[in-house]
Amino acid sequence: MASLTNRSKVLEQTPLNFMERLYLPNIFKGMAITFSHIFKKKATISYPEEKRPFSPVFRGLHVLNRDEEGRENCTACGLCAVACPAEAITMEGAERQKNEEHLYREEKYAAKYEINMLRCIFCGLCEEACPKDAIYMSETFAPSNFTRQGFIYSKDELLIPDPTTNKEGYEAARGLREAQIKK
Amino acid sequence: MEILQIDLFLFLEKLLLIGGIITFSLVIAMYTTYAERKVAAVIQDRLGPNRAGPFGLAQPLADGLKLFFKEEIIPLTSNKVLFIIGPALAMMTAMLTSAVIPWGSSINVFGRDVSLQIADVNIGVLYVFGVVSLGVYGIMIGGWSSNNKFSLIAAVRGASQIISYELAMGLSLIALLMLTGSLSMKTIVEQQMSGGWGGFLGWNILYQPLGFLIFLICVFAECNRTPFDLPEAENELNFGYHQEYSSMKLGFYLFAEYINMFISSAVVSTLFFGGYDIPFVNETTLAASWGGNIVAVMGFAALFAKIVFFLFLFMWVRWTIPRFRYDQLMDLGWKKLIPLALANMLITAIVILWLNK
């Protein structure tokens, strides 16, 4: 019978020869293979101490960006929320008051900014949509929480550390970002 | 009144030796579980336990503690007495064999020659066989009293397997015993030590390679180790005969398995690999210059090294070969090993007769 796909394999059904029936030579062959694996490079790592390097385009949890003076970049334009295919982002805009110039870069800012990490699919479209470089995706991943409510990240969880009060934290977070941009 | 005339020091020394060997085998069994996980890991390109203590060395302690603190569950429909006797029997039979194994030559303590063997029974090999056969009861009783079909199937499998392989094991040993002419373990070791090349040429493995192979395969089967681990086939029988067990009773079964491995390795080393003989070293001349005690300790170390090798072999094989099917198991035992052992026995007998003529 002609085969339909030409991919079928003819099954070899010759009876085992004497060496194969002895069984032991093949056991020794198998044992040699497992023994050689003792000296192979391990496929696993000790995770919390060692971490595998991320790809430069890795998309982890979001960070809301500030500029060097500690002012929030976000203007609550809503482009990220529109771009989001999972509809994970909600925000409420507010107008900047007279004495708030050191807090917000532009006249409008996000009074409330929430990302539901259970909805988020980490596609990175919000980052692409943002005209103000106000949101980017970090290398933090695998968020954990006890409640569903806890996965709705508000501004305090999302904002990058303020460079005027917590310079080290800001630079650590920025440093990863610079490396990302360079690549 | 004969019994009261036993030398008090003999009593004390044997008591100490028994305590020492039991503690020793328990510790070894503990660390064999650790070694098993480590060997399994490195063979599968993993790291293995490395969290508890340096290199994960406290892992067996943690496991043991966990087993102690687990809740004891005795199933309502089980036979309670037998349910408790099962693991106790498994543990006891595992330990009993160590009594006749010569762990070393004698050491000199305060002018007394203390033999490193609990009992030099002149039917040592037979004793080992007897006790090993009793080991079936641990499995059988445990599986039966659990009142669970998986446990029962596993117990029946275990019993039939052990009984089948015991025959081939005994037949393979008969050939060996023809060579040695003695059933005492100590005599067997001493005969091997008197061979050429510091005892190496006296090792029975050189005269009984086929017998050794058959014996080793049967030992694997008796210990319920892969490829013969049908009684505790996790993926077929939900853990087999100890499925209903929890807490330290389960621990006893698992421990008994590892002690069995340890003791079997000791028996194989003793019977075929010269026991406490250090290869390429003449112990008597060495003892004259270094003192008997040091040589005895070295001999023990040599035996221990052999045991460790066999323990590694057990693990190595376990993580290489898949489990036999039941019919393959019986086929191998009855149709291959027993005729082979018989042929081996016959050939040995003929050669011995030929050489003695």
What are the chain A neighbours of B322 within 8 Å (beta carbons)? Answer: none
Interface touch B321/A30, C-beta < 8 Å: yes
Contact across the interface for B320 and A40, Cβ inside 8 Å:
no
- To the nearest whole Å, the CA of A53 is away from the closest chain B CA by 19
At B322, give phi and psi (nearest 5°): -75, 170
**Cβ distance B30 to B64 under 8 Å?**
yes
A43 touches chain B (CB under 8 A): yes
Rounded distance between C-alpha atoms, residue A48 and residue B302, angstroms: 41
Contacts of B320 in chain A (CB under 8 A): 27, 30-31, 33-34
Measure Cα distances from B284 to A151, B191, B273, B281, B295 in Å. 76, 14, 19, 9, 9
Q: Residue A159: pLDDT band by 50, 70, 90 thresholds?
A: confident
B55 touches chain A (CB under 8 A): no
Distance from CA of B60 to the nearest CA of A (A): 20
A62–chain B nearest CA distance, Å = 32
Cα distance from A14 to chain B (closest Cα, Å)?
Answer: 20
Alpha-carbon Rg for chain A in angstroms: 28
Instruction: Return the domain boundaries, chain A.
Output: 62-182
Architecture of domain A62-182: 2-Layer Sandwich (3.30)
Give pLDDT tens digits for A55-93.
878 888 888 888 888 888 888 888 999 999 999 999 998
pLDDT value, residue B309:
92
Q: How many A×B Cβ pairs under 8 Å?
A: 36
pLDDT for B3 equals: 60
* Maximum pairwise Cα distance, chain B: 67
* pLDDT tens-place string over residues A12-53: 788 888 877 778 888 889 889 999 988 888 888 888 888 888
Is cis: bond before B60, omega within 30 of 0?
no
Task: State residue B1's pLDDT score.
Answer: 47
Give the nearest partner residue to A38 out of B42, B317, B321, using CB atoms: B42
Q: Tell me how crowded residue B138 is: count the other CB atoms within 10 A of its CB.
A: 27
pLDDT tens for chain B, 357 residues: list them.
456 666 777 788 888 888 888 898 888 888 888 999 999 899 988 888 888 888 888 888 888 888 889 888 888 888 888 888 888 888 888 888 888 888 877 777 777 777 777 777 888 888 888 888 888 888 888 888 888 888 888 888 888 888 888 888 888 888 888 888 888 888 888 888 877 777 777 788 888 888 899 999 988 888 888 788 877 777 777 777 788 888 888 888 888 888 888 888 988 988 888 878 887 777 777 777 777 788 888 888 888 899 999 999 999 998 888 888 888 888 888 888 899 999 999 999 999 889 887
Check CB contact under 8 Å for B43 and A41.
no
Enumerate the residues of chain A whose CB falls inside 8 A of the CB of residue B319: 34
Q: Which contacts (CB < 8 Å, 24+ apart) does range B152-158 have?
A: B153/B237, B154/B230, B154/B231, B154/B232, B154/B233, B154/B237, B154/B240, B154/B241, B154/B243, B155/B231, B155/B240, B155/B241, B157/B230, B157/B231, B157/B240, B157/B326, B158/B224, B158/B230, B158/B231, B158/B240, B158/B241
- Which of B321, B325, B328, B336 is most worth mutating to test chain A (most A CB atoms within 10 A of its CB)? B321
pTM of the shown model: 0.80
Q: What are the tens digits of pLDDT across the range A101-148?
A: 888 888 888 889 999 999 999 898 998 898 888 888 887 777 788 998
